[in-house]
Amino acid sequence: MSSLSWSAPAKTRPATPAPKASKGPLVLAVVLALTTLLVAILTNGNVAATLGPTAAFLVIYAIVKLPIRYTWFAYIWLVLSLDTPPEQFAGGKYKSPFYTVALLLTGQLKAVLGVSALVMTGLDIFLLSSFVLTSIRRAQGSRLDCDDYIRLPRPILFASWAALLGIVWATGLGLATGGAFRFAQWQIERNVYLPLVLLVVQAVFPGPKSFKPFTRVLIGAALVRAVIAILLRQQFPEEEYTSSHSDSMLFGTVTVLLVLRLADRPTKRDVRLGIPTLIVIVWGMIANDRRLVWVELALAAIFILVMTPRTRRKISMARTLLALVPGAIVYVAVGWGHPTGVFKPVGTLRSIVDSKSDGSTLWRDLENFNLVTTFAHHPFGLGFGHPYELAVWMPDVTRTYELEPYLPHNSIVGLWAYTGYIGFTLLWLLPTIALYFAARAYRFSTARDDRIMALTCFAGFFMYLLQCYGDMGLGSMVSVVVFAPLMVMVGKLAIKVGAWPGASLQPATAAIVRQASDA
């Protein structure tokens, strides 16, 4: 008998049919193509509008699939780089091909879609979608936004809610005393976005580790705006400004960041990339021709010198500056009456401090006097919806800027006039507490990157306060998308370095939270 044994043939399983390819992507591509074609026909080939459906799909996909902070980085870069609809390039003489996109990002949708009921803005939709998606992910125990998460200190959260309460106070007071809701709505919008963006961003920015990618966004946007300012200055040499008033805050904050990187143990990469970038941004500031940016940088430099430790370099610098004081006094005295040529910087200084030499400065002095008088007559505030009182006559600019009696150039004194002791205290807690945390975080920081972050935030907040005082910084999109994230990150930095009690939600903890939610 053969040594080979016989065995019954194995039962063969029926072949499993190959899974059918999903038709979803194909259907989506067809729908997207047809939508794009329809929009192109309806808008006569408008480039920005035609790209709208594709851009909207990419944004929605990114929001759903990626950590939400990445979509915030993209949104902030677009807001800072594209047109700023309230402050158009070169006084409205130039609109980029992406003006409609910029309007969709920050303006009321009715301005683009033509439906009067659509008073919400692109930022409203972005805030709402971020809040909803974050809530869903938290409920599902997702770790996508939780790794290395640090909770924001309670005082900053408290100050954000206090600011919203201050808005409610000023709105209720104004409407109860006959204020116009149409104008109150604009005043609410100028005040409400900073605390709202902060409350959403603190949930999606894990902590200080977001600072590096965020600074890349700021530097990239500042470079774009600087190049725009330079090119438009060549095209419109007599124009008052070329990019926007609010760009002073962006240029100033990025300048401080780059200088700190170059001053605190710079790497070869810092020097190789930082110096050319700094040159372009300074050139952009000169081209934009806003006096306030130089005052902001000077104030930032003073406070940085006060905050940083006493070193031999600082002592040598202080002695050099003291030695230059007599020469500077002579230079200013000689150029005060003839601020031309080499004495042109003296003219800029004089236009800031001497209202008799500059019509704009005189006009703002008159506005400030009227605002102070209004507050003296209404210590608890006029409330939103009321114009400030005219104690002294000043030129009427409402034909070109209807909102001036409700949104004056001096936002800080304006808040005193409209909101009074109670409202101003509630609204101004947020930047005040943010300054405190920036200073405290710096004192406790030992790592170079942490020191640079804390000092950049500290100086940036002072620039924001000065912009609010001098040139309508309150509620501008630049101030909202730059300083709300900085307030979040410096608050979380304070906890990281031990400057404030708190705990971080580390990856292991996030897993425990997820398991608990699953149970």
Indicate the helix (H) or strand (E) that contains 253: helix 247-263
Q: In this model, does residue 238 exceed pLDDT 70?
A: yes
**Cβ pair 439, 462 in contact under 8 A:** no
Minimum mean pLDDT range among 84-98, 157-171, 433-447: 84-98
In the prediction, which pLDDT does 6 show?
Answer: 40
Task: Give the up-direction half-sphere exposure of residue 408: CA atoms within 13 A in the CB hemisphere.
Answer: 31
In the prediction, which pLDDT does 192 show?
Answer: 94
* Angstrom distance (rounded) from CA 449 to CA 352: 35
In the prediction, which pLDDT does 509 show?
Answer: 37
Structure-token pair, residue 235: 């095209």
In the prediction, which pLDDT does 19 show?
Answer: 54
Q: In this model, does residue 322 exceed pLDDT 70?
A: yes
Is 505 strand, coil or helix?
A: strand
Domain boundaries of the chain, sorted by first residue: 29-140, 153-509
How many CB atoms are closer than 10 A to CB 188?
A: 19
Most confident by average pLDDT, 91-95, 106-110, 403-407: 403-407
In the prediction, which pLDDT does 22 show?
Answer: 55
**Cβ pair 297, 248 in contact under 8 A:** no
Q: In this model, does residue 89 exceed pLDDT 80?
A: yes
Q: What is the pLDDT of residues 171-193, one digit of tens each?
A: 999 999 999 999 999 999 999 99
Structure-token pair, residue 33: 């193509």
Q: In this model, does residue 373 exceed pLDDT 90?
A: yes
Collect all residues with Cβ–Cβ distance below 8 Å to 177 and sequence separation of at least 6. 382, 383, 386
In the prediction, which pLDDT does 326 show?
Answer: 87
Q: What are the backbone dihedrals phi and psi of residue 150, each rounded to the nearest 5 degrees, phi first?
A: -120, 130
Q: Computed from CA positions of residues 148, 68, 246, 124, in that sequence, does the dihedral angle turn out positive or negative?
A: negative
Top pLDDT among 46 and 301 is at: 301
**AA letter at 386:** H
Among residues 134, 111, 133, the alpha carbon closest in space to that of 121 is found at 111
Minimum mean pLDDT range among 68-77, 92-101, 459-468: 92-101
Q: What are the backbone dihedrals phi and psi of residue 437, each rounded to the nearest 5 degrees, phi first?
A: -70, -35
Q: In this model, does residue 517 exceed pLDDT 50?
A: no
Buried b (16+ CB within 10 A) or exposed e, 12-21: eeeeeeeeee
* Angstrom distance (rounded) from CA 217 to CA 236: 28
**AA letter at 126:** F
Q: In this model, does residue 505 exceed pLDDT 60?
A: no
Average pLDDT value over all residues in the chain: 84
**Cβ pair 195, 164 in contact under 8 A:** yes
Collect all residues with Cβ–Cβ distance below 8 Å to 401 and sequence separation of at least 6. none
Buried b (16+ CB within 10 A) or exposed e, 135-169: eebeeebbebbbebbbbbbebbbebbebbbebbeb
How many CB atoms are closer than 10 A to CB 375?
A: 24
Share of the chain above pLDDT 70, in %: 88
Is 204 strand, coil or helix?
A: helix
Predicted TM-score (pTM) of the model is 0.83
* Angstrom distance (rounded) from CA 475 to CA 459: 19
| 309-315 contact pairs (CB < 8 A, 24+) | none
**Cβ pair 109, 115 in contact under 8 A:** yes
In the prediction, which pLDDT does 354 show?
Answer: 65
Share of the chain above pLDDT 90, in %: 45
Q: What is the pLDDT of residues 334-343, one digit of tens each?
A: 887 777 777 7
In the prediction, which pLDDT does 359 show?
Answer: 66
**DSSP track, 133-157:** HHHHHHHHT--TTTTTEEPPPHHHH
Structure-token pair, residue 92: 């409205």
* Angstrom distance (rounded) from CA 481 to CA 188: 17
Minimum mean pLDDT range among 142-151, 152-161, 227-236, 325-334: 142-151
Average pLDDT over residues 245-249: 91
Most confident by average pLDDT, 17-21, 27-31, 179-183, 347-351: 179-183
